[in-house]
Amino acid sequence: MSFVNVAPQLVSTAAADAARIGSAINTANTAAAAATTQVLAAAHDEVSTAIAALFASHGQHYQAISAQVAAYQQRFVLALSQASSTYAVAEAASATPLQNVLDAINAPVQSLTGRPLIGDGANGIDGTGQAGGNGGWLWGNGGNGGSGAPGQAGGAGGAAGLIGNGGAGGAGGAVSLARAGTAGGAGGGPVGGIGGTGGVGGAGGAAGAVTHASFNDPHGVAVNPGGNVYVTNQGSNTVSVIDPATNTVTGSITVGITPLGVAVNPGGNVYVTNFNSGTVSVIDPTTNTVTGSPITVGASPLGVAVNPVTGEVYVTNFAGDTVSVTS
């Protein structure tokens, strides 16, 4: 019997990559069209005219074929995007009844021991130094410790179950996002969680004024009038906020699926295109949170720009061959 394993998030990332490749090729073809389809004769004799016509004909044929290939590539990207959503829905539907059974098994064990029989421990909250939760007694990985506030040690990683890996200790000091697996540094970091029989212990977390910024497949970047830098992470469906004074990440904002484009209006509001959600998220720069419901636009929104005079927002919809205008 054959089995196929599909990771929807990887399919989604592949669709975004394919979209960028197609966009780059289309731009190159457009730039070359005028010079290759309308070739001027080197002289006024018949031979020069015939040679120019021949090369122009080849250029026109190439552009015609390129248009067909571009249309096929767009259909391919759309198919990938739709497949990602379909697999994600199927995965969720299949997991629900199994999760109900697992909850029924874990509930009495959790009540008696404070720890489930099967399942991973929760990660500690960043910026609090909270320890990661322990994994299930039988099977489960320990949760990663949360990073500490400035001057505070990060939380210890949670212990694993009989089978599993211990969680990594959280970073301490002035780091804004924990970097799992970093060795303990000056000032003393927390310990990693204890590994299970079939796993390994988690690495200790760093301490001190670490300034490493973590991203996940970053794509778009924009700067608001106040100076903060916003970076879209298509691999984690988030937007990282960078403080330009220290060049460290000060926040991570969850948006839609596969955020790519980002732009800022004169008032500082940040607009993010969510490629696989067909929406645009709006971020309030004063709170760095998403305001209201996402704005529905066309299929596979990619690029975004703001008119500085009117404040209107223009969004290119890759799979829909349209441009949406909103505000």
Instruction: Write the pLDDT tens digit of every residue in 82-121.
Output: 888 887 888 778 777 877 888 888 888 888 888 888 888 8
Which segments of 133-291 are extended strands (E)?
Answer: 218-223, 229-233, 238-243, 248-254, 259-264, 270-274, 279-284, 289-290
- What is the rounded average pLDDT of the residues 272-300? 93
Question: Band of the pLDDT at 213, cuts 50, 70, 90?
Answer: very low
Q: What is the mean pLDDT of residues 264-274?
A: 94
- Could you tell me where in the chain the CATH 2.130.10.10 domains are found? 218-326
H helices present in 114-171, as ranges: none
- In sign, the C-alpha dihedral spanning 188, 193, 194, 198 is negative
CA distance 287 to 284: 6
Distance CA 228, CA 153 (A): 27
- What pLDDT sits at residue 301? 93
pLDDT at residue 274, rounded to an integer: 94
Residue 266, pLDDT > 50, answer yes
- Statement: 218-326 belongs to CATH 2.130.10.10: yes
pLDDT tens-place string over residues 61-81:
888 888 888 888 888 888 888
The CA distance from 152 to 257, in Å, is: 34
How confident is the model at residue 197, as a pLDDT?
A: 44
Window from 134-138, 185-189, 319-323 with minimum mean pLDDT: 185-189
CB 234 within 8 A of CB 243: no
SS3 163: strand
Query: What confidence score (pLDDT) does residue 179 get?
Result: 35
Among 2.40.30.10, 3.40.190.10, 1.10.287.850, 3.40.630.40, what is the CATH number of 8-108?
Answer: 1.10.287.850
Angle at 120 between CA 250 and CA 232, to 5 degrees: 30
Q: Tell me which residue of 243, 224, 215 sits closest to 282, measured CA to CA.
A: 224
Ranges of CATH 1.10.287.850 domains, the chain: 8-108
